[in-house]
Amino acid sequence: MRMRPTLSWTPAEDLPPGTTDPERVTDALGTGGVLVLSGAGISTESGIPDYRGAGGSLSRHTPMTYQDFTASADARRRYWARSHLGWRTFGRALPNAGHRAVAAFGRHGLLSGVITQNVDGLHQAAGSEGVVELHGGLDRVVCLSCGARSPRGELAARLEEANAGFGPVAADINPDGDADLTDEQVGDFRVVPCALCGGVLKPDVVFFGENVPPHRVEHCRTLVREASSLLVLGSSLTVMSGLRFVRQAAEAGKPVLIINRDPTRGDRHALTRVALPLGAALTTVAARLGVPLDGRAAA
């Protein structure tokens, strides 16, 4: 049975309104020791849609679940056809101003770490170091039989060879990297096995219905304990995957600051929510702190 991911949440109480002044975010970063927790909203300015915002992909697209992927060869064929096509676009996405600002804050010693719920690798592409990929990364694949990991580029080349001429036009690319295709467009797409043992290959990401590895969760909890404050960027915090760290920080008395245009499930724990586009908000904060982006002097 295919599980439908959580689409939204309904606040049980009135939430404080958002602000358009990132003053408190600036103050927190100026003090240092800030842990960043980013979600899909930070990558929308790079052309990757989010899940739950206006026009989010969950309104038209049900992501693959771990249960479906492992149980059905047909489901895997549909997934890899869509993901292979989507990777041609997704893999070329470039960091935007929000990613570059986070990297600049890190270079200037203002951050204690970065946790991302995204699988696009754009924080690392922008220059952030030591990023914890809570849900893994689409640039790698893992064999479910032998556990071997390999670069996505190697699999892409093998899939190209096995499916010469495969090139349907996709309606949309989704935040999990796959493309919207009909069954007719998927056609007789051929899936390739692990090159080492012949086992089933899966992207090295946490699917819906799959748990984040416990050691990774504990590492993130340690980062929260060691941080001075938590800055949430572009996440609705609808699911517990990210919300648990917000709750942990708030329970420990650490300031929680959020930049997200829409209300989030973590707002009642937050000192402030800045209701601005991330690129503009973080560029403003960088300018106020005198932090140059991309090696240029801040305006």
Q: What is the pLDDT, as a whole number, of residue 195?
A: 96
Taking only the tens place, the pLDDT of each residue in 176-196 is 667 778 888 888 999 999 999
Whole-angstrom distance, CA of residue 54 vs CA of residue 256: 24
Whole-angstrom distance, CA of residue 146 vs CA of residue 132: 24
Q: What is the pLDDT, as a whole number, of residue 297?
A: 40
Q: What is the pLDDT, as a whole number, of residue 175?
A: 60
**Residue 258 annotated in ligand binding:** no
In Å, how far are 16, 18, 25, 289 from 11, measured between CA atoms? 11, 15, 24, 34
Whole-angstrom distance, CA of residue 57 vs CA of residue 219: 30
**Residue 56 annotated in ligand binding:** yes
Residues pairing with 256 in the sheet: 230
**Residue 147 annotated in ligand binding:** no
Q: What is the pLDDT, as a whole number, of residue 185?
A: 84
Q: For CA atoms 7, 78, 71, 132, give the dihedral sign.
A: negative
Q: What is the pLDDT, as a whole number, of residue 177?
A: 67
**Residue 165 annotated in ligand binding:** no
Judging by DSSP bridges, how do beta strands 201-205 and 136-143 pair with one another?
Answer: antiparallel
CB 193 within 8 A of CB 199: yes
Regions of the chain where pLDDT drops below 70 = 1-13, 50-62, 169-177, 295-299
Domains present along the chain, CATH in parentheses = 20-48+95-135+212-299 (3.40.50.1220), 60-92+138-205 (3.30.1600)
Q: What is the pLDDT, as a whole number, of residue 171?
A: 55
Question: For residue 259, which phi and psi values (nearest 5 degrees)?
Answer: -115, 110
**Residue 44 annotated in ligand binding:** yes
Q: In what order do the strands lie in the sheet with 136-143?
A: 149-151, 136-143, 201-205
Q: What is the pLDDT, as a whole number, of residue 51?
A: 53
The DSSP element (H or E) to which 202 belongs, if any, is: strand 201-205
Identified catalytic residue from 61, 135, 215, 219: 135
Q: Please indicate whether residue 135 is annotated as part of the active site.
A: yes
Q: What is the pLDDT, as a whole number, of residue 125?
A: 96
Q: Which pTM was predicted?
A: 0.89
Question: For residue 114, which phi and psi values (nearest 5 degrees)?
Answer: -135, 125
Whole-angstrom distance, CA of residue 236 vs CA of residue 263: 7
